[in-house]
Structure 1
Amino acid sequence: MGTGDATRMTVRRVPFAYRRETAAHWNAARPEFSQIVNSASLAMPYLEPYLIKTMREARPLITDADLVRDLDLYCAQESTHYRQHRKFNDELKALRPETIAEHESVLAEDYARLGRERSLRFNLAYAEGFESMALAIGHMLIEDREFLFGDAESAVTSLVLWHFVEEIEHKNVTFDVFKHLYGSHVWRIAGLVYATFHIMARTRRGYHALLKEDGLWKDFRSRLALARVLLRIFGKLAPKLLRILHPGYHPSKVADPSWMTAWVKLYETSADAGARLDTSRLHEPLPAALSA
């Protein structure tokens, strides 16, 4: 059976506009968190085309028409994600050209190698592992949005939250594709573990290089701030990741956060509303959390 989410998955064209001068430290109060997010963003133009390629390779093998429809919508959403991240990354790269070019070459080789050398089963397990992790991260970011994004640049905050609204929206697709074709709990967990450690290792490599170029990596106060934000993130994320390990886990059992559903309704009333969140009012209901 398909996920049944095709009626609510939407391919959105959100008109983000980024400011080059603040691209690196778009959250001035939390430069360490800025660079964590920046490092994750750098992976998107390589990770998400790999996910799309993997799903499209699986498509001819799927016998459920609803699931094929969901897969196509998933790929369309992921295409908009990596294109928006590339647009932001270009602004960031203008400020850190050598550091970012070197890191991007590592990411490009990683995902080219996985697509070239690994089986479809492995790549689908990786895709499902990433999407399960992304669902957990999306819930964490939305729950802790005031702390993580309060008073930060609107465009980057809006980009990240839009991205994870849609990660939550298409949460079932890779799970159902993997189950439809392989259905192995052991392989699913192996994909989760591999994807989680691979992505986190590459994210750490990226923010280490960016903070080092900032001159913050050897600054004691900055390293302490980094440790604190990482402990906070992983403290909130760990229970959400652990539930994925259960043999009876299905992402459809994870209820959508109310803020996410409010964002979806907001977009339906104004196509560009999601691009202009007021980060000083993230604790308020969404219609009030728009920039003037």
Structure 2
Amino acid sequence: MDTTSVAASILPSGPDRMTVRKMPFDFTPRNESWNPDKPEFAHIVNSASLAMPYLEPYLIKSMRKARPLIKDETLLEELDKYIKQEATHYRRHKEFNDTLSAKGYASVARMEGTLAKDYAKLESRRSLRFNLAYAEGFEAMALAIGEMLIDDREYLFGDSDSAVASLILWHFVEEIEHKNVAYDVLHHLHPGYFLRIFGLVYATSHIFWRTGQGYRALLKEDGLWQSSKSRWKLLKVLGRVMKSIIPKWLRILRPGYHPKSVKDPSWGVEWASVFDEGGSDLAKLDTRRLHEAVPVGSTIEMRL
């Protein structure tokens, strides 16, 4: 038995599992899609990225409001690292989103305006209880999506632009690292199965609705929405994604569910290990070698 692989699938609990990383992504504007073999998937990712500079500050504000109510010192430490990770995420996504605007996509500004209004309304008009349930709903969904992206990384990101693939995979490695926090905050302050499930349904429905609006608008601007061939490719990639995600969502519905029971993907754990050993160049993953976590031009290999 490979004891390294077994150990790599088990992460410590508590704040030590989370690392706040500064990643030097180089989002050099490109005329073509960052994923030319899968432009439909690229626009799904692009649309989801547009939400991050509005969604994640909303999560941060909700958690900061909850902080004075929390009595558990370990949870407070986790919460502080969660906030730092999320703050880093949305800033890097904003840099990437600005390259989409620079390419002339008119729908970017429209979607950003819509998303800004959405999260401003949720923050100002909804209770902290609701906002914490939404936060846990998003994080539960993000855990499932992160597992899917990491498991299927070679198909989804193979031979794509290094910076964008690295951004998404880095983001979801860290989403998995802080998978317990929103659940534990909600359970600490407002325990209850139905509130948690309500948050999951609401957050998933809202984010998927806005993401769908976004990628349809982007595909229309590229002239792909009118193509039956492109529509079929879109349906195929959506089907592939949903086939992977649905079983992961179903486990969230169990009354005894806790994200800590979900095994961390070994590739994500090894990515973090490579980073800890000085692999800051993981901002430039080699997308021709995504079975490994190595930067372009590196001879370092994953220990799988």
Q: Same fold (TM over 0.5)?
A: yes
1:270 equivalenced with 2:278 (yes/no): yes
**Counterpart residue number, 2:300:** none
Aligned length: 286
**Counterpart residue number, 2:24:** 15
1:145 equivalenced with 2:153 (yes/no): yes
Say if 2:14 and 2:74, in contact at 8 Å, map to a contact too: no
Distance 2:246 2:175 in 1: 18
Distance 1:207 1:96 in 2: 15
**Counterpart residue number, 2:189:** 181
1:291 equivalenced with 2:296 (yes/no): yes
Distance 2:256 2:123 in 1: 29
TM-score (norm 1): 0.96
The 5 Å alignment of 1:202-241 reads 202-241=210-249
Equivalent residue in structure 1 for 2:70, among 47, 58, 62: 62
Structure 2: which amino acid aligns with 1:139? E
1:115 equivalenced with 2:130 (yes/no): no
Say if 1:14 and 1:272, in contact at 8 Å, map to a contact too: yes
Structure 1: which amino acid aligns with 2:18? M
Structure 2: which amino acid aligns with 1:205? Q
Say if 1:5 and 1:170, in contact at 8 Å, map to a contact too: no
Say if 1:266 and 1:273, in contact at 8 Å, map to a contact too: no
For structure 2, list consecutive stretches of 5 or more residues without a partner in the other structure.
Answer: 1-11, 298-304
Equivalent residue in structure 2 for 1:101, among 86, 95, 109: 109
1:126 equivalenced with 2:134 (yes/no): yes
RMSD: 1.1
Distance 1:149 1:203 in 2: 19
Tell me the CA shift for residue 274 of structure 1: 1.6
Tell me the CA shift for residue 5 of structure 1: 2.3
Distance 2:279 2:212 in 1: 34
For structure 1, list consecutive stretches of 5 or more residues without a partner in the other structure.
Answer: none
Equivalent residue in structure 1 for 2:40, among 32, 44, 54: 32
Distance 1:253 1:83 in 2: 30
Summarize deviations over 1:138-192 as a string: whole Å, max 9, x none. Answer: 0000000011000000000000000000000000000000000011110000000
Distance 1:106 1:125 in 2: 22
Distance 2:281 2:17 in 1: 18
SS in 2 for 1:151: coil
Tell me the CA shift for residue 21 of structure 1: 1.4
Structure 2: which amino acid aligns with 1:19? T
Say if 2:105 and 2:221, in contact at 8 Å, map to a contact too: no
Equivalent residue in structure 2 for 1:257, among 248, 262, 265: 265
SS in 2 for 1:21: coil
Tell me the CA shift for residue 95 of structure 1: 1.2
SS in 2 for 1:248: coil
